[in-house]
Structure 1
Amino acid sequence: MHYIYIINDFLVTDQDKIKAEEIVKILLNKKIWVYTPSTPNLKKMQPEDKVVVYMAGEKRKKFVGYFEIAEDINKHNFNGNTEEEEYIFNLFPLAASIKNIQLFETPIYIKDIKNDLEFIKDKKNYGVFLRSSVRAVSEKDFERILIHTN
């Protein structure tokens, strides 16, 4: 299957947050992705599924990378090397290793491709279709996103 993983800043306290860019950097560098038991489509996800990472939030709204799920999603026992990692690993008790990781040299902005994507039914209010943490998409839409990385 094909997915879009939507990532945004995590609020740690009222004034403190972990930026989406930092979260993506941590997870991709460790070659893992983390999940909660309530992650949408969790039971459907399996090794070899393909994922494109979308950064939401003000001044973002862009696809930034790609990977494949390498193993089944299971409980993890990771310990963080930093406060940010510790927070992420405590908040998300499930994980899977990932492979074929690619960070796009140039991000793909949703505004530039939203009209080409079938899963976005209302092109004016496209953000509604990227609200959850995981969005299953057709292979066709997935390929339409990746074609812009060249």
Structure 2
Amino acid sequence: MLLLKGGVHIKQQTLRSAGESSKYWICRIDEEYLSRIDEQKILSIANQESNAVKSVKAEDKIVFFSPLSNEKNISFIGYGPVEEAFDDPEYLLDSLKSGRKIKLKGIKYFTEPIPVKDIAGDLKFIKDKKNLPYPFKSEFKEINQEDFNYITRRMNSSKTFPVYFEKMSFTMDEFLTCSIKGTYEIVKNTEESNQIEIKEFIRLLHKFINSYGISKSYEDILEYYSQNVWKLGFQHSPSRNPDNLVKLYGPRGNSQRFGYIKLV
């Protein structure tokens, strides 16, 4: 960003030339910074001398990784396309001092983190499979398109900020799971029919959760149910009415559309 006469600032943008191929990157985001980055959609890194980050241009794509509990538990958490790259000497945060900033078009989060150790054998940028932390010592690193595609296709993604990064995330996850089970048992014992529409069930579940003072929208709860219900072993059946159909995901991210929950 340049300071012009009169105190006006302009950005020095880096654009990719027509016909020039996009590049692919991995970038470290620590948990403590993620909510701020999610809100602003602007990346910066700690290393002020990084040549890699200076090479990023519009339309490049970035996969994000984070050490969720320690440096040996590095996981991929999402990805996003670059809208623009620009220079700005102001620090994004106290420890993120790089003058190069990257504005993202958006971030898609994996519904569950993808542990690096689970897919390291299939990633070409990881040369030494026995020393997994080593390739992630750099905050920012270029990878090839094949590795990018392999990572991003491993897990279903969502624009919603992931539950596993919320405060008390494990407690929240447990609460939501128990709420689903509890609502199911109530409906099963009170409903005369042997099934209930999924959307009606979610409305009841939403009301139940809100009664505890938990601020979750109907859409958030529906998405959580669709991503996690496979863990509970519920049985579902289709509907002839397309308006009743809800996409439910399996453990590998595969999906099917159903309209009803069986009360068995």
The TM-score normalised by the length of structure 2 is 0.46
Q: Hey, which of these two has a bigger chunk of strand by percent?
A: 1
Q: What is the percent sequence identity of the aligned residues?
A: 29
The reply on whether 1:75 has 2:88 as its aligned counterpart is: yes
Residue of structure 2 equivalent to 1:17:
none
Contact 2:53/2:100 (CA < 8 Å) preserved in 1?
A: no
- Give the aligned residue type for 2:78: G
Residue of structure 2 equivalent to 1:131:
137
Aligned mates of 1:27, 1:105 — CA distance in 2: 18
Aligned mates of 2:27, 2:85 — CA distance in 1: 17
Larger radius of gyration: 2
Contact 1:119/1:137 (CA < 8 Å) preserved in 2?
A: yes
- Give the aligned residue type for 1:38: E
Residue of structure 1 equivalent to 2:35:
25
Contact 1:4/1:134 (CA < 8 Å) preserved in 2?
A: yes
State which of 57, 77, 86 in structure 2 corresponds to 1:64: 77
Aligned mates of 2:93, 2:151 — CA distance in 1: 32
Residue of structure 2 equivalent to 1:51:
62
Residue of structure 2 equivalent to 1:87:
94
State which of 7, 26, 45 in structure 2 corresponds to 1:4: 26
Q: Say how many residue pairs are matched.
A: 131
- Give the aligned residue type for 2:153: I
Higher RCO structure, 1 or 2 (CA under 8 Å, sep 6+): 1
Flag structure 1 segments of 5+ consecutive residues without an equivalent: 8-19, 79-84
Aligned mates of 2:125, 2:93 — CA distance in 1: 35
Flag structure 2 segments of 5+ consecutive residues without an equivalent: 1-22, 157-264
Q: How many Å apart are 1:76 and its aligned residue?
A: 5.2
| Secondary structure of 2:111 counterpart | strand
Contact 2:49/2:98 (CA < 8 Å) preserved in 1?
A: no
The root-mean-square deviation of aligned C-alpha atoms, in Å, is: 2.0
Contact 1:40/1:134 (CA < 8 Å) preserved in 2?
A: no
Residue of structure 2 equivalent to 1:16:
none
